[in-house]
Amino acid sequence: MLASARATRGVVALALLTALLTASEAAAQETEGVRAVLVTGASSGIGLRMTEVLSANGFFVYAGARKAEDLERLNTMANVKSVRLDVTIQSEIDAAVALVQSEGRGLFGLINNAGVSVMGPLIELSEEDMDFLLDVNLTGPYRVTKAFADLLIESEGRILTVSSIAGILSGPFNGAYSMSKHGVEAFTDALAAELAGFNVTVAAVEPGNYKSQIVASMVKRMRASGYSAEGSRYGSMLDMISGPLDRSQYKEPDDVALAALDFLSSDSPKRRYMVVPSQYEADITIRQAMRELAQLNEGHAFSHSRDDLVQMLDEALSEAPPSSSQSPQTPSRAGLHQAVLEGNLEAVQEHIEAGSDLNEREPSGGSSPLITAATFGRTEAARALIDAGADVDQQNNDGSTALLTAAFLCRTEIVAALLDAGADKSIRNSAGSTALDVVTVPFDDVKGFYDYLGAVLGPLGLELDYEQIKATRPRIAEMLR
């Protein structure tokens, strides 16, 4: 009996062992060939779109989020497992590592996407807000990357950190956010050099202005903290700039997600993926990088000649990886906005004759070609657009029309052409100002805003003559009365 019982237990144990091995083999087969990727900040915006695109294109995605309802929603997606992950809490990061290890898939890719924004003058921003921003945007990627480094080295995987064109540009009142993204650029370069010997590929993606929740979250935090323009030394200027923060009409971040897919799939991924919704954002970013290059080369013992710089640029271009078939953006001929920006009247006329949309909104700020013409003083282009039937009362994201813009920037001839075309003088922008209001408020009260426009749009060719503006404002006011 005893021998029989032992034999029976042996058969049962062998059966259980066989079952466990079979289950293990099945799990291994299920995950074989499927590369796993962790995306932080996956509950909305860019992170959510990346999760959707990657999970639909052969990747298994661990989607990091903080709120219970977001975790539940992400878990309903195919090839996605939600992970509770606040990049500022080390215990949650450690738990995420343990979860990924226990799943047996390994980890091929890490996308550091979680980010926040804080807006305000640097000399008025609270230290608490600065610490909050840097903790998420800069120390967060450092923490997560460090925690998952062993898994990524084991897989010879890839790390993509979401930077921004703000990592190249630094505009007024966006200084804190730009600081964090400039830090991400440095983090990416140093990490790429340090991990190259382990065959881990590192890159940054630099999105422009796309639809996201980051600004809405920023506004909520600013309001909760009681911060406003009232009492600020920047006054109405801060109100005018912080007004147009609604990104609901911005372009979906599909191209940013496709850049992530290219980085994870390509045999020759790029070090940087600048992904912007418009030629305007591409131009202003590249021009700023070139301007900084010129500043670095200016007036010292080891400056290079123009010919030297051109040769260096040619060498750098030759080192760039070949274009991928999955490249998210393909170049096309200059659009109507670009033709207006360049003052290329012939190209503007070609667009008009071809039936191009004369009221097409520029993705970043929602400006029409006519508003662009008013901004940069392209008088002939403005007249051509008006004559062709462009909407003279169309508003951009901050509520400004071509008339409001032309008045503020003292484009006398464009103001006259718009008034002749019946432009509505009563329309108010998001700050509550009409065209007349913007030229009757004391110049010193809005000088800061002119400074802001000059800093942001100067790389695109905006030139502001303050003496001419001060002399012309009364004349514009008379035209509008």
Q: Which residue has the tokens 């700039």?
A: 241
Beta strand residue intervals within 238-295, DSSP E: 272-275
- Rounded Cα distance between 395 and 403, Å, is 10
- Rounded Cα distance between 481 and 435, Å, is 10
Q: Which residues are catalytic?
A: 177
- Rounded Cα distance between 358 and 381, Å, is 11
Region of 434 please: left (phi>0), alpha (psi -120 to 50) or beta.
beta
Q: Which residue has the tokens 């432009």?
A: 423
Please state the separation of Cα 92 from the chain's center in Å: 27
**How many beta carbons lie within 10 A of that of residue 290, not counting itself?**
13
Going by C-alpha positions, the residue among 220, 203, 208, 316 that lies closest to residue 266 is: 203
- The answer to whether 349 and 387 have CB atoms below 8 angstroms apart is no
Region of 33 please: left (phi>0), alpha (psi -120 to 50) or beta.
left
- The b/e string for 197-221 (b: 16+ C-beta within 10 A; e otherwise) is eeebbbbbbbbbbbbbbbbbebeeb
- Rounded Cα distance between 47 and 73, Å, is 14
Please report the DSSP string for 199-246 in residue order: T-EEEEEEE-S-S-SHHHHHHHHHHHHT--STT-TTHHHHHHHHS---
- The answer to whether 108 and 37 have CB atoms below 8 angstroms apart is yes
Helix axes 175-195, 127-134, angle to 10 degrees: 30
- The answer to whether 417 and 381 have CB atoms below 8 angstroms apart is no
Q: Cβ contacts of residue 427 below 8 Å, gap of 6+?
A: 393, 395, 399, 401, 403, 404, 434, 435
